[in-house]
Structure 1
Amino acid sequence: MSEASTSRSWDGFLLAARIFWKKQLGRFKMRRRDSRQAIHAFEYRVFSQHREDGIIDYLLDLVGVKNATFVEFGFWADECNCLNLVLNRNFSGLFMDGSAENCNRAKDAYAWLGKSSVSVVNSFLTAENINLLITANGISGEIDVLSVDVDGNDYWLWSAIDVVNPRIVVVEYNATFGPEKSITVPYDPGFVRYDKHPSGFYHGASLMALTRLGSQKGYSLVGCDYTGVNAFFVRKDLLTPNLDVLTVAQAYMENRGRVKYKGISTTDQFKAVEDQSFVEIQ
């Protein structure tokens, strides 16, 4: 075995060990709670960046699991929205990301964990290749969770996907664009967030734009995480009396990282990028 492959395998083992211990934490946190509470009451973090793990777990309890399958793109090997499902609900599925290094680390770690039912694909995702990449990895039809987080063409990728029919969709929205604007960045297959604008505020789509897209595709908005990063949609035929459908005004949360920790108001964030190009979504 070469020195490079030995190093990579050892790194994968260490990453797998960290993931394994987080898995145990996830088992502790996955418990039933009063389903009448606001969605934020169900947040917790095992592998997700912004406590999405708890919300996804809660929504799956309400709508049920069909075939324990997911597709997630824009992920880190040990920080993503569906790894908790893989390890604590025995899901199979597909992770995709544009970073070869990240994907190699994930493949190595997941192999150590014995998760052969999980595919990891390195590709820069576009509206033109997204469906082919999904079906090429043996996934089509109804899946339980679709998670979209690419810091750029999020709206356009979700719009393009037609080979799977997710029960739950988690998609990053750009809170900088506010609750009232229905806009997205124009489609650019080579979109790189910080190349477009140094602030990092110019990417993705507003919550209103994504909610309108979701409605067209048969989904209802049921909430956003407390940190103001991800929106959660449930397919309309799966809605239950215990799950409130929210308006954008009810669900919208400011991006706490930008407002609280960077000290930049949502208004000032948008002022920094208002001269950029946008597409209005009707």
Structure 2
Amino acid sequence: MKKIFKYYFLIFKVRERLSPSVQIGQRQLYLHYRELLKRNELPCISETGFRVFSQFEEDGLLLYIFSIIGMEKKVFIEIGADDGINSNCANLYFHFGWHGLFVDGNPESVRRGVRFYKKYPHPWLYQPSFVCSKVTRENINEIIEKNGIKGEVGLLSIDIDGNDYWIWDSIEVVSPQVVIIETHNEFGLENIVVPYDPNYSYPGKHPIYHGASPVAMNKLANKKGYRLVGANELGFNFIFVRNDLVPHELPEVAVESLLNHPSAKAAYAKFEDIKDWEYLEG
């Protein structure tokens, strides 16, 4: 019954998020940030979060960042998108005219997403692409290229509860302006990565034995030419901006400054159970 409701009646759950007032309010906020940018009066990024379609307050953080960078590259790629509705990219699609690619390995989620985007909010909108596939280091570039995306894009979002680190490390066909990616604050300030496993499926051997620590993910970002600018309040969805973009307006922040929420500290206690398992240095 729950699956049927999700498939046929999801619009009733999210229709308020699609309202003109939501779009108008956000566009006004975008222009307000642009004006504050001219006056050198920008708020701290940690004060700008809110949720429309994202799981936590990532929608607000991303709106703030793209208010500073600009929205000339309105293309997104979301890996681990589920149905593309509870998403880091849906808000940009529905309210700012972005387009792009949703990738997920769950056929049911993808079917639900395809149906929804074909019908709402307007069936004549340019539709995002959906791909149902298990994502690996070996196929990720092909998946992106086959869907007509290459070069510079606005946003790359990765959240697959597994090989997130290795997927980002392998992506070569696009150069995102902004990357939002899940880290594992259960690993605290350790510099560790769980070894790559192309056959991994959550929860694997242990629910928290996957992914990379915040420190290791930050090192990967630096290697790829990105700097850490913020995270969601709980401190596990890190946001990176490419180094050539607005370095003064979006300064680099330290990893440890984003791990102060009580939940982040509580999460690290779980590491004790798996601290002696196999890890690679980030």
Q: TM-score range by the shorter chain?
A: 0.7 to 0.9
| Residue 9 (structure 2) pairs with residue 14 (structure 1) | yes
Give per-residue Cα distances to partners, 1:228-266, cap 9 Å, x unaligned: 22000000110242222112122334573x76xxxxx23
Match of 1:147 in 2: 157
Aligned with 1:242 (options 214, 232, 249): 249
- Once the two structures are overlaid, the 10-residue window that deviates more, 214-223 or 265-274, is 265-274
Identity %: 35
The alpha-carbon deviation at position 54 of structure 1 amounts to 0.5
- Out of 29, 43, 50, the residue aligned to residue 44 of structure 1 is 50
- Partner residue in 1 for 2:97: 90
Supply the AA of the counterpart residue of 1:140: K
For 1:195, what is the secondary structure of its paired residue?
coil
The two structures have a TM-score, normalised by structure 2, of 0.87
Residue of structure 2 aligned with 1:136, choices 143, 146, 150: 146
Cα distance in 1 for residues equivalent to 2:65 and 2:53: 17
> Which residue, 173, 185, 195 being the options, matches 2:194?
185
Q: What CA distance in whole angstroms lies between the structure 2 residues aligned with 1:233 and 1:267?
A: 23
Deviates more, 1:26-35 or 1:163-172: 26-35
Letter in 1 for 2:200: F
Are 1:118 and 2:119 counterparts? no
- Say how many residue pairs are matched: 265
TM-score, scaled to structure 1: 0.87
Let me know the Cα RMSD of the aligned residues.
2.1
1:159 aligned counterpart, secondary structure: helix
User: Could you give the per-residue CA deviations for residues 91-138 of structure 1, whole angstroms, max 9, x where no partner exists?
Assistant: 010000010000000000000022443001100100000000000011
1:151 is paired with a residue whose SS is: coil
Pairwise CA distance, 1:88: 0.4
Separation in structure 2 between the aligned mates of residue 28 and residue 13 of structure 1, nearest angstrom: 28
Q: Is the 8 A contact 1:185 1:203 kept in 2?
A: yes
Q: Which moved more, 1:267-276 or 1:106-115?
A: 267-276
Conserved? CA contact 2:234–2:259, under 8 Å: no
Aligned to 2:23: 27
Compared CA separation, residues 11 and 153, structure 1 to 2 (3 A): closer
Cα deviation, 1:211-231, whole Å, max 9, x if unaligned, reads 111111110100111022200
Partner Cα separation in structure 2 for residue 29 and residue 45 of structure 1: 13
Deviation at 1:15, TM superposition (A): 2.1
Distance 1:210 1:29, change over 3 A: farther
45 and 204 in structure 1: CA distance in 2 versus 1, 3 angstrom threshold: same
Query: Aligned in 2, Cα 1:11/1:204: closer, same or farther, shift over 3 Å?
Result: closer
Whether 1:217 and 2:218 are equivalent positions in the alignment is no
Could you tell me whether the CA contact under 8 Å between 1:148 and 1:172 is conserved in 2? yes
Checking the alignment, whether the CA contact within 8 Å between 1:222 and 1:245 is kept in structure 2 is: yes
Query: How big is each residue's C-alpha offset from its partner over 1:53-110, in whole Å with a ceiling of 9 and x where there is no partner?
Result: 0001110001112221000011232211000010001101000001000000000000
Whether the aligned pair in 2 keeps the contact of 1:254 and 1:266 (CA below 8 Å) is: no
**Aligned partners of 2:100 and 2:222: how far apart in 1?**
25
SS of the residue corresponding to residue 168 of structure 1 reads strand
Q: Which whole-Å CA distance do the structure 1 matches of 2:147 and 2:56 have between them? A: 28
Structure 2 partner of 1:4: none
In structure 2, the partner of 1:164 is 174
- Relative distance call for 1:227 and 1:11 in structure 2 (3 A) is closer
Q: Are the aligned partners of 1:207 and 1:248 in contact in 2 as well (CA < 8 Å)?
A: yes
Return closer, same or farther for 1:252/1:40 CA change in 2, 3 Å cut-off: same
Contact 1:50 1:229 in 2 (8 A): no
The aligned counterpart of 1:262 is none
Q: Which residue of 2 aligns with 1:269?
A: 270
**Match for 1:271: what amino acid?**
E
Instruction: For residue 231 of structure 1, give the secondary structure of its aligned residue in structure 2.
Output: strand
- Structure 2: tracts of 5 or more residues without a match: none
The answer on whether the counterparts of 1:107 and 1:120 sit within 8 Å (CA) in structure 2 is yes
